[in-house]
Copies of this chain bind each other. A is one copy, B any other.
Amino acid sequence: MNFPGEIIVKEVGPRDGLQNETEMVPLEAKIEWINMLSETGTSYIEISSFVHPDWIPQLKDATEVAKQIKRNPDVTYAALVPNLKGLERALEVNVDEVCLFLSASESHNKNNINKTISETLPVLKNVSKEAKGAGKTVRGYVSTVFGCPYEGSIDTEKVITICDKLFTMGIDELSIGDTIGVADPLQVEQVTSKLLSYFPKEKIAMHFHDTRGTALANVLVAMNLGITKFDSAVGGLGGCPYAKGASGNLATDDLLYMLHRMGVNTGIDENKVINAAFYIEKYVKNLSSHQMKILNSQPL
């Protein structure tokens, strides 16, 4: 194995985690929790989503969250934005980075936002342009790259075309998502190699879900190819969006366990992440990460 000595872990728990939890976490708790995360040593937190409140009521307090959290100057505070209206709200509260999203699967995109991929691209182009004009960096999520709940397998050529279009419109970084957690390490090797033959590795992050237990194996393979940025959610928050009770987002604490034990530096304090996991677990029960299951277990 040949892997980078430093990995950037991007915390998506407050957005991708909470949007898939049925419990509403009170605003004050979110603020306290994000403030805790800001002090873990992380350099990146996606704090909420500026989609229409009817779409994701759990995140309808995005404006208040962004306004009331204590900003650590070493942290990039990002938020999801679906369109110009959402961008306007995000800019009002001065988020550092704007995250756009698009599915690599036509039917998943249609199902998710009721638009085809070609109808979505011009919207993203406008939002990206406006965000860049306002001095923001822009991140794009490309979802269902490794498999779609409706279409099954996704052609990597199609993924490359979409990524190319997104980079061409000025997006700074793309997060390549295994939204339903089906990817296997060989597939990750193949898709990542292909991506890296077109785009520089600094512009690619991987977003794995642990639904079938393969997330850390997939991280390993991507690291071995030089990828240095991975998304994860504290405690495995969020679960799987398609199967209640199954695992979802790769847990930040599981990722840190593996990386730190391998001697890979992240700059993040595992214990502080665990404290943040225990804090949010008061509101969102039964976090699914391996670390939390151990810590919540009874010694025999």
Contacts and interface: CB of A to CB of B under 8 A. Distances in A.
Interface in A254-298: 254, 257-258, 261-263, 289-291, 293-294, 296-298
B221 A1 contact: yes
Majority DSSP secondary structure for residues of A touching B: mixed
A226 to B, nearest CB: 14
A244 B297 contact: yes
A246 interface: yes
A185 interface: yes
Contact of A213 (B182, B241, B257): B257
Interface residues of A, number: 44
A212 B1 CA distance: 21
A230 to B, nearest CB: 13
Interface string A166-196: 0000000000000000101111010000000
A297 B185 contact: no
A290 B247 contact: yes
Contact of A217 (B216, B246, B296): B216
Nearest to A290: B213
Given A184-B258, A185-B216, 4 more contacts: A186-B262, A212-B291, A213-B258, A217-B217
